[in-house]
Structure 1
């Protein structure tokens, strides 16, 4: 993957895996649709061709409490744009995808409807567990703990409702929403964005001076709590304000705070797969809390 800055734009290229760039483009377009209903700002995609993606550069600022609270509002509306089922790819995509350089399983439209727990166990945790075992970051005993948790998930032990604003079968997720994939930008600089982006569709409210802009998605249908939990893995300023803003628009199901680690587990396993080291230990410790 190559990134080159050219004035007000930057270009991402991938000569060896064109489809990674193509998937990112479809994911950005899918998330950007939600801007029309007040969803979070999404980086502006200027041009897209095989293995090449041209994006508008985002002027950076610093996250504030007001910006974080407003981002929570906007993210709730992005999620509420919905997806047809758990594991759905962005519109127009066929086949599997990636989360970073890790493979990501997408379900097909003709697959039978499944609970969140069954999807999370079989399409997210188990496929990424074997590579983490093979690179030595997770022991056989650690794998057994994760597998036991997956059995509980598949049996429905941790199934829980989607947030109140979501009426579709699944939420429309960014899918790789760690803090580095939200760029905080001065709202006055985002003249390319639809006026509706980040705004309450029922009120003519103004944007805060700083807003969060989504970049680098692994877009998919999933549970909204996964995006929210992922924000906390590597530290996010004013995370409590994001949660408060989200909850004020789309109430989360009871017990959501106790499920944060559960929803973080897939991203932790991805890091154990890609980077090894302490991520394997952290993944198993997390799984043990729920197994």
Structure 2
């Protein structure tokens, strides 16, 4: 695919400059300048595999924006091969920006979709994400839509004992899930690398958006560490206090992203996954 030509076609504006920014998974990243003076961020996915990834990401950004338009960048254009967003120069996270993010995230989570899942086929990185809209309790949905689908691909890395440990979590999911909560509008892949800190606030990028349990987004923030996390959580609690025991349930909510990492990257994440599973069962 000729990225400049396709980008010109998609935006309706000639591209005067296109700078490569590297790549991530199966796509490449670019900074573009247009003839009408705009600077754009472009994610390009030119090959014929996983053609739903960028359309799913665009759908997720728009779905999140419907509840909180200031929390995500607007989608300028998107198709199966390109996703175009405004260019946002990064800044150092400040305490004020972290508190604003915490309150905004709480507000997002208090918007309750009718179902778990989403109205489009999902992806997390290059892996399909089962977004089949589902009613009922969160616990079986999490077990059957977010954990069980990845166990077969992870089984060789986990070994028999490791796989059985995850199966014990599935068997006890109702006991481990905590108090019932309605579906919340989630980012779905909220590690620190998917927070873009701007001059006054933070934007959430690269979502795997869906209706899920709000503790999942917070557990993902904690998984690899986020700047100013204590301030984010304190501001969140001001708007939407969490149920008791939420800290003990963090490992349960981290099992899905860790399973995804094992499938994508192999044994380097095996120890983290099994430790989280053991902690979830102990809680």
TM-score band by shorter chain is 0.7 to 0.9
Q: Is the 8 A contact 2:223 2:254 kept in 1?
A: yes
Residue 186 of structure 2 aligns with which residue? 173
| Paired position in structure 2 for 1:246 | 236
Question: Who is 1:2 aligned against?
Answer: 28
The alignment's TM-score, normalised by the length of structure 1, stands at 0.81
Matching residue of 1:160: 179
Offset from partner CA, 1:97-148 (integer Å, 9 cap, x none): 211112211123xx5x3311111111111111211113x2x11101101101
Contact 1:44–1:56 under 8 Å retained in 2: yes
1:98 maps onto 2:123 in alignment:
yes
Q: TM-score, normalised by structure 2?
A: 0.83
Cα distance between partner residues in 2 of 1:62 and 1:173: 24
- Quote the residue 2:74 is aligned against: 44
Q: Distance in 2 between matches of 1:98 and 1:49?
A: 15
Correspondent of 2:132 among 100, 107, 118: 107
Mark the runs of 5 or more structure 2 residues left unpaired by the alignment: 1-26, 34-38
Unaligned runs of 5+ in 1: 163-168, 187-209
**Cα distance in structure 1, aligned partners of 2:72 and 2:273:** 30
Tell me which residue corresponds to 1:11: 42
Instruction: Specify the SS of the correspondent of 2:151.
Output: helix
Q: Which residue of 1 aligns with 2:204?
A: 214
Match of 1:34 in 2: 67
Residue of structure 1 equivalent to 2:166: 146
Q: CA deviation at 1:268?
A: 0.9
Residue pair 1:68, 1:212 contacting (<8 A) in 2 also: yes
Shift of 1:26: 0.5
SS of 2:67's equivalent in the other structure is helix
Conserved in 1, the CA contact under 8 Å of 2:195 and 2:203?
yes
Q: How large is the RMSD of aligned CA atoms in angstroms? A: 1.5
**Structure 2 counterpart of 1:55:** 85
- In structure 2, the residue matched to 1:183 is 196
Distance in 1, Cα, partners of 2:269 & 2:99: 30
8 Å Cα contact 1:115/1:159 also seen in 2 = no
Q: Which has the higher contact order (CA 8 A, sep 6+)?
A: 1
